[in-house]
Amino acid sequence: MKSINKIAAALGIISLISCSDKLAPVRKDAVKPTIVTQKLPHDTDDPSIWIHPTDPSKSIIIGTDKDTDGGLYAFDLNGKIIKKSIPLKRPNNVDIAYGLLIDGVKVDVAVTTERESNTIRIFSLPDLNPIDNGGIPVFEGEVLRDPMGIALYTRPSDKKIFAIVGRKSGPSGSYLWQYELSGSGKMATATVVRKFGEYSGKKEIEAIAVDNELGTVLYCDEQFGIRKYNADPALNDNKELVLFGRNHFKADNEGIAIYKTTPTTGYILVSNQQANTFMVYPREGADGNSNNYPLLAEIPTSTIECDGADVTSSNLGGEFKNGLFVAMSNGMTFHYYAWDLIQQRIDQAKKK
């Protein structure tokens, strides 16, 4: 534990959430973060990146503080807290979408799961004002609710936005529920349009990511693998496309982030939580097969037991000209990594 604390101190982390000896140590060859954010009061869990429409250097990171007295926090690109939402009851994961149509006005939104109230909460961006009339109930009529994971899908054909929501536990075949987001009277609403998703029963499903351009949703069935489905509910296709990453993780496979080098190519990064590494797969698949996901690289990072991550290839300026990778770390912080640091390790792995 002393070695972990030394590493944490070196990264500006004064204390860890847990004092357990079970916390995974950071590897000596780990990528060092470009920036470590200010600490949150309770427990960081999941970040999402909002890109400013006219000045990318003013983009912000929205992160969850997972506690009964938690909330969403906005950080600038220097890791400074610039705003907090209204108090929320254990917000777990968060995702962002652009241009939700409400009364004819396009509004960028952050949507988070509020676990203790069995709702999703919707906030306008960048002001972080609630626009959901106090919360939208999810998994209504179910015994197992406890919403955790969330990802937003923007359908390219009509720009409609859908929230795909996961929970602490649920039945295989309908573990995830998909909601179409809309709005009127200056408030956002949500209507369930689909129930899908296989579940191994091993642990839980929290990390969910959507690839808008490829029209797919990926989610981590923890300690079992990564599952892939079509994202568009209009396809009426609830068949699993592929299950991959079965034997690549020490224990939990958690946060998922998708880095886009072109509209159809790039990388899928998945947290190998108890190893403090990220596993990297080809976004487009391999050998002409979009459902073939060989492991390209395992990248050790300085994040401690990471739950959630996000990434963008947009030029945010400064050290983030080729993009930004952000990941939660035990110790109530988020770590920012200039994408170049991650790409360098991927390139090194490809040469081996």
pLDDT of residue 22: 76
Q: pLDDT of 97-150, one tens digit each?
A: 999 999 999 999 999 999 999 999 999 999 999 999 999 999 999 999 999 999
Residues making up the chain, counted from first to last: 352
5-24 pLDDT per residue, tens: 334 444 444 334 333 457 88
Across the 352 residues of the chain, what is the mean pLDDT of every consecutive 10-residue run? 40 39 86 98 97 97 97 98 98 98 96 98 98 97 97 97 97 98 94 98 96 98 98 97 96 96 97 97 97 98 96 97 97 97 96 83
- Dihedral angle of Cα 216, 191, 49, 17, to the nearest 10 degrees: -100
* Residue 210 DSSP symbol: E
Amino acid at residue number 21: D
Q: How many domains does the chain have?
A: 1
Helix locations, 140-271, DSSP H: none
Q: Which two tokens stand for residue 65?
A: 């503080």
In terms of residue numbers, what domain contains 24?
2-351
Q: What is the CATH number of the domain that holds 67?
A: 2.120.10.30
CB 198 within 8 A of CB 170: no
- Greatest CA span in the chain, whole angstroms? 57
User: Quick one: pLDDT at residue 20?
Assistant: 41
